[in-house]
Amino acid sequence: EQPEIICIGCGVSVQSERPNELGYAPKSSLEKDQVICQRCFRLKHYNEVQDVSLTDDDFLKILNEVGRQDALIVKIVDIFDFNGSWLPGLHRFVGGNDVLLIGNKVDLLPKSVKHNRLVNWMKDSSRELGLKPIDVLLVSASKGTYVREAAQLIDEYRNGKDVYVVGCTNVGKSTFINRLIKEVSGEGDIITTSHFPGTTLDMIEIPLDDDKALIDTPGIINHHQMAHFVDKRDLKVITPKKEIKPKIYQLNEGQTLFFGGLARFDYVSGGRKSFTCYISNELEIHRTKLENADDLYKNHAGGMLAPPRPEQLEEFPALQPHEFTIREGKMDVVFSGLGWVTINEPGVKVVAHVPKGVNVLLRKSLI
């Protein structure tokens, strides 16, 4: 008979059969002297303090509440994590309300990137995801670029109504709101917080110059974000702080690039060609032979190929391959939350690997 194993974190009875249920820990971890369940592991290593189901539940309550209002909805996304910072389901809740889409962190784009191409891509992608924004604009919340323009547009589009600002964590929503406060609230205005109905969360209300308000809703955790798979201390590695320096690689077919241990780009076929990486300057890129790539990852993930950190390896999702064939034009393979690789010439086959759950896709080059 199997002795019962207890999680040293929360005391729950550990099981290794049902990954989505309480007390799950991978089989391999049961050998250890001290066993910790997946939920406690996440809490400890990723600082995901909130219970998964509670978060999702609160998320639905927030969307419901926002959908019931007659308001302008301002949705913030990270332009380096468009899909990872998308709020799935928002379009089903907004009802007849307009949504203004704001792409943050424009300061990170190299000069060569055409803003209007990015905006058009965001418009197209939004529609594909079921949302038709009234407008799309780019800002840099941290530098303050275009924040005044954003404030003016918000005031125009709100049409005398309240404004709800929504977005998932890490997109820079707090930074944006803090900038906005300076733009919209005159002297003597009082910012208040109030309780979000039916949740444990508070929201910030900023009075506008009529009797309306701009309401900052709590940041929502999107479990598909790359940011949730790296340790808090490594966020600065994957999230660039400075303008990205494109790195050009001349690759022969059968070569692989690793982005730390978080993603991998295999050049399968197409002769010698050039590829430009738009990835955080802090994330190390390793070039290797495709035929050695699996072994390299097996032996060096958490070490030479980091992040992830060694202690995260067990819980880190397996990299999953996504194949792309580029027949014409200049295309970007976009790694949500990391950046992208521009394929400068067509006639190539590549495979992009990302942790299970993270999005990878192809788009027309922004250059």
Kindly tell me which residue out of 108, 215, 220, 262 binds ligand GDP, with binding defined by CB under 6 A: 108
Other C-beta atoms closer than 10 Å to the C-beta of 79 total 24
- Tell me the one-letter amino acid at 295: D
Minimal CB distance residue for ligand GDP:
172
Compute the least distance from the CB of residue 79 to ligand GDP, in Å.
Answer: 9
Kindly tell me which residue out of 94, 171, 238, 283 binds ligand GDP, with binding defined by CB under 6 A: 171
Compute the least distance from the CB of residue 232 to ligand GDP, in Å.
Answer: 11
Q: Segment 245-304, which members bind ligand GDP (CB under 6 A)? A: none
Single out the segment in contact with ligand GDP by CB under 6 A; choices: 18-26, 48-56, 123-131, 136-144. 136-144
Distance (Å, whole) CA 238 – CA 230: 9
Compute the least distance from the CB of residue 345 to ligand GDP, in Å.
Answer: 30
Identify which of residues 173 and 353 has a Cβ nearer to ligand GDP in the complex: 173
Question: Is there a contact between 230 and 94 (Cβ–Cβ < 8 Å)?
Answer: no
Distance (Å, whole) CA 291 – CA 362: 24
DSSP element (H, E) containing 238: helix 235-238
Kindly tell me which residue out of 29, 83, 125, 175 binds ligand GDP, with binding defined by CB under 6 A: 175
Single out the segment in contact with ligand GDP by CB under 6 A; choices: 4-12, 99-107, 252-260, 303-311. 99-107
CA distances from 72 to 118, 135, 158, 294 (A): 23, 12, 5, 49
Q: Does 73 bind ligand GDP (CB under 6 A)?
A: no
Single out the segment in contact with ligand GDP by CB under 6 A; choices: 116-124, 137-145, 284-292, 358-366. 137-145
Kindly tell me which residue out of 140, 276, 342, 359 binds ligand GDP, with binding defined by CB under 6 A: 140
Kindly tell me which residue out of 83, 125, 169, 276 binds ligand GDP, with binding defined by CB under 6 A: 169
Compute the least distance from the CB of residue 221 to ligand GDP, in Å.
Answer: 10
DSSP for residue 54 = H
* 201 backbone dihedrals φ, ψ, rounded to 5°: -105, 150
Distance (Å, whole) CA 64 – CA 92: 10
* 306 backbone dihedrals φ, ψ, rounded to 5°: -140, 155
Q: How far is CA 308 from the centre of its chain?
A: 16
Compute the least distance from the CB of residue 167 to ligand GDP, in Å.
Answer: 6
Identify which of residues 83 and 140 has a Cβ nearer to ligand GDP in the complex: 140
Q: Does 107 bind ligand GDP (CB under 6 A)?
A: yes
- Tell me the one-letter amino acid at 166: V
Distance (Å, whole) CA 73 – CA 163: 6
Q: Does 75 bind ligand GDP (CB under 6 A)?
A: no
Put the strands of the sheet holding 263-269 in their side by side order. Answer: 285-289, 255-259, 263-269, 348-355, 319-326
Compute the least distance from the CB of residue 227 to ligand GDP, in Å.
Answer: 9
Binding mask 226-245 for ligand GDP (x = CB under 6 A): -------------x-x----
Q: Does 172 bind ligand GDP (CB under 6 A)?
A: yes
Q: Residue 62 contacts by C-beta under 8 Å, 6 or more apart in sequence?
A: 166, 196, 199, 201, 217, 218, 220
DSSP element (H, E) containing 127: helix 115-128
Question: Is there a contact between 244 and 109 (Cβ–Cβ < 8 Å)?
Answer: yes
Single out the segment in contact with ligand GDP by CB under 6 A; choices: 89-97, 166-174, 183-191, 314-322. 166-174
Single out the segment in contact with ligand GDP by CB under 6 A; choices: 10-18, 57-65, 167-175, 332-340. 167-175
Torsion of CA 130, 133, 134, 139, to 10 degrees: -170
Using CB under 6 A as the criterion, which residues of the chain lie in contact with ligand GDP when the complex forms?
Answer: 104-105, 107-108, 140-142, 167, 169-175, 219, 239, 241
